[in-house]
Amino acid sequence: MKFAVLVFPGSNCDLDMYHAIKDELGEEVEYVWHDTKDLSTFDGILIPGGFSYGDYLRCGAMANQSNVMSEVKKAADAGKPVIGICNGFQILTEAGLLPGALLRNKNLKFICRTVQLKVVNHNTLFTNQYKEDEVITVPIAHGEGNYYCDDATLKSLEDNNQIVFTYSGDNPNGSLADIAGITNERGNVLGMMPHPERAVDELIGGADGLALFKSIVKQWRESNVNEA
């Protein structure tokens, strides 16, 4: 499977994402600059965290204007897996690929620590290697990770099982309904604030995030076998 790791001015988690895919997952991966106009050769799109365009105007808003985002939308429409982590989640909401918005943390401070996540829906493209209600440990590092949406959107997320991860025991940022990660209705676009790419090896504190990337590869391979 071939992944693209998008790089915007201000991205700083692209190295972590690249390492997770190449060295821990053993799959093909390339950095892709934000002005790229063709993502057709990639099987999966990864939008890393950081501070794209310095978070000016609004987190993710300027990144959404980059050339590559029209290609991300095409990839999503084609059913390819698309993940936005931290700032990547913010970009996906700005692009309209995911509902809702990410607001300032409730305490108005930048938070950097590990948290417990519950896998609310393990029957997705991104979570099929986890168990139902499994609790995993993953780092967070954000100042605007407070997920918000209106009541109708929240009900839709719940009814369609689009809430994939919730904070378990401790909600660090005030997110509505403890939401830490959601998918689109089709289930091929995931946005989450915690950093699974920073939890892929026991040498760096834990490997609970690796199963997320393994889930994608497993389903991709099964789909290709079935199509063949």
User: What is the secondary structure of the chain as a DSSP string?
Assistant: -EEEEEE-TTB-SHHHHHHIIIIII--EEEEEETT----TT-SEEEE--B-GGGG-SSTTTTGGGSTHHHHHHHHHHTT--EEEETHHHHHHHHTTSS-SEEE--TTSS-EEEEEEEEES--SSTTTTTSPTT-EEEEEEEESS-EEE--HHHHHHHHHTT-EEEEE-S--SS--GGGEEEEE-TTS-EEEESS-GGGSSBGGGTB-TTHHHHHHHHHHHHHHHHHH-
| Segments forming the whole domain that contains residue 48 | 2-227
Give the active site residue among 19, 34, 142, 195: 195
Residue 195 among the catalytic residues:
yes
164-191, pLDDT tens digit by residue? Answer: 999 999 999 999 999 999 999 999 999 9
With a cut of 50, list the residues of the chain below it in pLDDT. none
Q: What is the pLDDT of residue 224?
A: 83
How does pLDDT run across 38-50, given as a tens digit for each residue? 999 999 999 999 9
Residue 228, pLDDT score: 55
pTM for this model (two decimals)? 0.96
Query: Of 19, 86, 94, 142, which is the active-site residue?
Result: 86
Total count of domains within the chain:
1
Q: What is the pLDDT of residue 108?
A: 96
Active-site annotation holds for 19: no
CATH of the domain at 113: 3.40.50.880
